[in-house]
Amino acid sequence: MSEPSLSVTDKLRNQFGRLRERIRKMLPFASGVLAALLALFLYHSFVPGSKPLTQNEVSTAISSAMASATPRAPFSEHVYEIIQPSLLLIEAELPGENGDTNTGLGSGVIINRFGDILTSLHVVANSKDIRVTFVDGTRSRARMVSSQPEKDIAVLQAETLPQLFVPAILGNANAMKVGDDAYVVGNPFGLYSSMSAGVVSGFDRSFQPPNTNQLIQGLIQVDAAINPGNSGGPLLNRYGEVVGIVTGIVNPTEQTFFIGIGFAVPIDVAAGGAGLPPY
């Protein structure tokens, strides 16, 4: 006995049932596609005088709607755009072993409306001169106004601020979990405003920077790439909020390149050096 043939409406329902499962995997950007197709279905099903859709018309409508759907931008793109106006390059003149001068590179981030800059203490410690470059190209001398050696944190103030600057949005490091997205934006090897992405690998880590006797505790561990020049820059969550200040990397060799383990001081601790309250 042959099965009864399905009406166009029944075929539509079956088609939409299969489509619904595909769309659920593509949300949220495909939700608009589903709404458009449902509107088309309802119009041709219930508007008097409208012609029933053929199977070819249904397939064509679905293909057209899916082809026009544009997925939303990745979180990393938004994070990069958000942090750009708050990021800066730090150049510090450091005394060399033979009485000469070396230039150290690092990163920093503006954290309040007064233009205070958070960075790592080891970037500017013992420096003869500190210069900062803002995102709009403004260059200025800067001075260190406070520090937390036990956390490798320094607060700088620039002599000249850009006419327009945007303080970073500070997040809540205590709300982070292992596996959360982690983004690092800074100036590795002097490559201005570079971004790397990874995840939070752990919490409450300890780290002793090379050539120091200072053990830094309570750090966030991440696997986003960190290299010389990233120190002092922001660690960000997927919303573009600063959740930490990058402080260093672990490498069992004598080299300084990244092998997958980096650390950041939680922002609630780091911002205390600028007089900001905990989150």
Instruction: Give the catalytic positions in this structure.
Output: 122, 152, 231
Decide: 243 and 266 in contact? Cβ < 8 Å. yes
Tokens 């033979």 belong to which residue?
98
Find residue 141's DSSP bridge partners.
Answer: 131
